[in-house]
Structure 1
């Protein structure tokens, strides 16, 4: 399910956020919350579809789960860092994988921040400002 919507308000309004999570319910809930803060959100549920949409969507921020079907979030992040359109986007890992090794692999893959689920909206919004 793809969702692209805009809502008014929010301190960091206008951000284009690509949200990639294989949990449809989690993605829907977070996308609705981000939209309520004024962001434009597109959701994808696997890495291949996320990579396919970036040239058209041009995200400022990518919130990316690591445990995706087929292509891991680590692999998606590495590929995004190679592409001009997402080379300088803010990449946030939002995942249940929270070991020190996971955090290091996230840094090595090109993520700017590693957030372990559940994350508070305050923590997420602070990174989006």
Structure 2
């Protein structure tokens, strides 16, 4: 297996499409629709990379990133923000929330795979 990836997105179609693409490339992928489900997964699954939608219901992706950074079970996990907005303000906010990178939705397959390879190989 090339690596473990967690995708957190409340849009099931977008989440499943990304997961299917990554699974075709032999990545081990787990999915969650919100922050609570993502945190619960950490009890059994320690991803190397987490793709976090910013516009999650309840707690947003910025808050989830903060919780993951504070949780020892996610130590070393690379975090990538997924957002429909790519302005400098959003990129700066993602950096301030301790994300390692930022992707703009809809994410192209080449962009996603290049980023994943850069982050975890």
Cα RMSD after superposing both structures: 1.1
Q: Corresponding residue for 2:42?
A: 54
State the 4+ residue runs in structure 1 displaced beyond 3 angstroms: none
How far apart, CA to CA, are the structure 2 residues paired with 1:106 and 1:78?
Answer: 11
User: Distance in 1 between the 2:85 and 2:35 partners?
Assistant: 17
TM-score by length of 1: 0.85
- Runs of 5+ consecutive residues of structure 2 not aligned to the other structure: none
Residue of 105, 110, 116 corresponding to 2:93: 105
| Partner of residue 19 from structure 2, selected from 25, 31, 45 | 31
Separation in 1, partners of 2:35, 2:85: 17
Number of residue pairs aligned between Structure 1 and Structure 2: 117
- From 24, 28, 35, the equivalent of 1:40 is 28
Decide which of 41, 55, 70 is 2:58's aligned counterpart. Answer: 70
Q: Within the alignment, does 1:81 sit opposite 2:65 as a pair?
A: no
CA deviation after TM superposition for structure 1 residue 63, in Å: 0.6
TM-score of the aligned structures, taking structure 2 as reference length? 0.90
The answer to whether the 8 A contact 1:66-1:97 is kept is no
Contact 1:64 1:94 in 2 (8 A): yes
**Higher relative helix content:** 2
